[in-house]
Amino acid sequence: MFKSHRYGLMTSIVGIAAVIVLLFVYRNLAWHGLIDHEIKAHTTLTQVFSNSIWPTYAAFLLDAARFPKAKLQQHEVTSRLHRDVARYIARSSVVKVKIYDLDGLTVFSTDAAQIGQDKSRNSGFVSAKNGVPIGKITFRDRFDTFEGVIVDRNLVSSYIPIRISDNAPVEAVFELYSDVTGLVGDLKKHQRQIIFWVVGSLSLCYLILFVMVRQADRTIHKRDKQHSDDKAKIHYQAHNDALTGLHNRTSFTERLEEAVKRARRAGCMLGLLQFDLDHFKLVNDSLGQSAGDQVLRTSARRMQVCIRESDMLFRTGSDQFAVIMEPLRNIEDASRLASRIIEAMAEPMKVHDQDIMVTASIGISIFPQDDINAEMLVKNSDAAMHLAKHEGRNQYRYYASEMKQQALDRLDFETGLKLALQQDEFVLYYQPRVESGSEEIVAVEALLRWAHPERGLVPPNSFIPLLEEMGLINSVGEWVLRTACRQTKKWHDSGMPRIRVSVNISSGQFRTHSFVDMVKDALDLSELDAQYLELELTESVLIENIDSAIKVMEALKEIGVSISIDDFGSGYSSLNYLKLLPLDFLKIDRTFVKDLATSEKDVAIIKTIAALAHSLRIKLVAEGVEEGYQAEFLRSQNCYEFQGFLYSPPVPSAAIPDMITSREVRRAV
């Protein structure tokens, strides 16, 4: 993290250091200024001395070397000179005076004891002898002066050449000491004040800077935290499913690749289980999306409880889940987990106050036995899952190599389906619907077939769910609607009795907002009178969003088409909605008709549905009528129309006119 206050502190330290250096420079300058000032004063004094006193004593002093030291110290001339010098320096800051001849001999000193000392090597003396005055500042804790001993003093001592005039040769050297303790004290006081103000203001600045930088640091820290929180959130959303909180497909692909690599390195087995909830679409379509969501959440929770800590559970698709078992000690562990999940799912789920059963079909593939590549393992378990579904659902299957072929076939099938519409491979068969009393053909139901180039005529149940999954149901549905209308109009134009055509509408098709327009277009294009078109809807279409369904149905009624509910009783029937809908027909699901002879319950159900339809003035149609006794019973229940193998299976369009004619002929006979 960026710690800006550290940089602030460092900057302040550098600032303080710079100020200390500046103070040091200032102190030196002041020191030198003081010395220079004293040298100048000493030079002036020396000048005065040279002009006034020196001429009197020069001859004696320049010849003083001839006297022994003691004699010189006590010489009468020396005493006189002492008095003159005393007078001369009175009222100045000079506290001591020494005079050297050009050989460096101390020929005079206000401290008589020093007379006779040799100073020829002293650098100050040498400099002055060469004509350059020089000075320095020193501190003495004890110092002998002209007027006695002084203590703790700052002194400036300077060596000044003595000459008669500026250009005259140097005759001797004067050494003067002046007491600058007062000045130095002032200087130090100033220095202290400057230090106080500078350090004080700097500290204040630093304090302000510190507070500001700390504040900025906090903001940056907060922003950094927000940033990393956002990153974590984005990562979570990208790798997790919002509904169940499980890892999602992206995460699955990444983790499986990694797990396969690890298993390859460690030389151990890995299990991949893929499951799909059986008939989940039905739950979604009939109970609504929120119920579907609840089922998914409950299923995810139940699965989560079944897996081991080392296993990973993913939601890989709408109702699809996967588990990576890593490591897999033995193949039976995969079976055990699959069984546990199937068992856990077997418990009924409470959804919107209804108990519903949701089962799962599971496919298992094993690394390295089935494949060593992650992508292929997914394909293999997918194929195994489809086998489990195909063989009755609510079970698990292991991948077997023959499935590869089946998976390829499925892929082929899907590819073929995509092209079927362009390649004109769809055909409509028509199954007659007869009036129960006269047994005359009054309508036909259009039933879709796929004329597969290799497989022959493929029934709709094996490809309509696929068309829905692949998002092709609308374009194919539109083709069915247009073809059925065109065909019926053709029959009408040929002069045979006018029959209705009923067309099956899938829920996806019904939900598209352009559905009513699609129906209008089909009628306009074919010029078929709307009263001859019937649309068969399933219950699931209605339950999902009853209000919008009613609106669409009313719009359809306005055009003039009839509406029927297909396979009535097989879905999540709510008898309540019947009274709300503008219905013309109810088609009882053929499963009730099938077991009429043996099932008293089915008899009771049909009776109830018939009574209900009758009271709501909706015409009842029975599908799957195969036997005479079924027709007999249904007729007794005021069933209005029959459809079933007893009369005719679905046939190509060309067969219909003959059928109508032959029935008419039979009736006439």
User: Which residues are near Mg ion by CB under 5 A?
Assistant: 504, 536, 566-567, 623
Determine the Cα–Cα distance for residues 201 and 193; give it in Å rounded to an integer.
Answer: 12
- Asked whether the beta carbons of 548 and 519 are under 8 A apart, the reply is no
CB of 623 to ligand C2E, least distance (A): 6
Query: Which of residues 645, 652, 662, 667 is near ligand C2E by CB under 6 A?
Result: 645
Count of helix runs (H) and strand runs (E) in the chain: 22, 22
Nearest to 262 by CA among 313, 334, 310: 310
CB of 476 to ligand C2E, least distance (A): 7
**Amino acid present at 357:** M
Where in 423-480 does DSSP place strands (E)? 426-435, 441-452, 456-458
CA 539 to mean position of chain CA atoms: 42
Query: Which of residues 626, 627, 657, 664 is near ligand C2E by CB under 6 A?
Result: 626
Does 2 contact ligand C2E by CB under 6 A? no
The string over 288-317, giving b where at least 16 C-beta atoms fall within 10 Å of a residue's C-beta and e elsewhere, is beebbebbbebbbebbbebbeeebbbbbbe
CB of 466 to Mg ion, least distance (A): 18
Is the CB of 34 or the CB of 458 nearer to ligand C2E?
458
CB of 413 to ligand C2E, least distance (A): 17
Query: Which of residues 107, 377, 407, 448 is near ligand C2E by CB under 6 A?
Result: 448
The window from 123-131, 220-228, 367-375, 643-651 that contacts ligand C2E (CB under 6 A) reads 643-651
Nearest to 120 by CA among 81, 159, 169: 159
Determine the Cα–Cα distance for residues 48 and 197; give it in Å rounded to an integer.
Answer: 43
Determine the Cα–Cα distance for residues 377 and 269; give it in Å rounded to an integer.
Answer: 12
Nearest to 249 by CA among 354, 378, 373: 378
CB of 573 to ligand C2E, least distance (A): 15
CB of 580 to ligand C2E, least distance (A): 23
Is the CB of 241 or the CB of 539 nearer to ligand C2E?
539
CB of 564 to ligand C2E, least distance (A): 10
Residue 312, binding choice from Mg ion, ligand C2E, none, Cβ under 5 to 8 Å by partner class = none
Does 197 contact ligand C2E by CB under 6 A? no
Does 431 contact ligand C2E by CB under 6 A? yes
The β-bridge partners of 320 are 276
Is the CB of 161 or the CB of 569 nearer to Mg ion?
569
Is the CB of 263 or the CB of 480 nearer to ligand C2E?
480
The pattern of x and - marking residues 571 through 590 that bind ligand C2E according to CB under 6 A reads: -------------------x
Residue 464, binding choice from ligand C2E, Mg ion, none, Cβ under 5 to 8 Å by partner class = ligand C2E
Does 464 contact ligand C2E by CB under 6 A? yes
Give the position of tokens 């009222």: 91
Query: Which of residues 46, 158, 294, 504 is near ligand C2E by CB under 6 A?
Result: 504
Determine the Cα–Cα distance for residues 273 and 365; give it in Å rounded to an integer.
Answer: 7
User: And the tokens for 148?
Assistant: 């006695």
The β-bridge partners of 172 are 162
* Radius of gyration in angstroms for the set of CA atoms belonging to the chain, rounded to a whole number: 58
Nearest to 534 by CA among 518, 519, 524: 519
Q: Which residues bind ligand C2E (CB under 6 A)?
A: 431, 447-448, 459-461, 464, 477, 480, 504-506, 536, 566-567, 590, 623-626, 643-645, 650
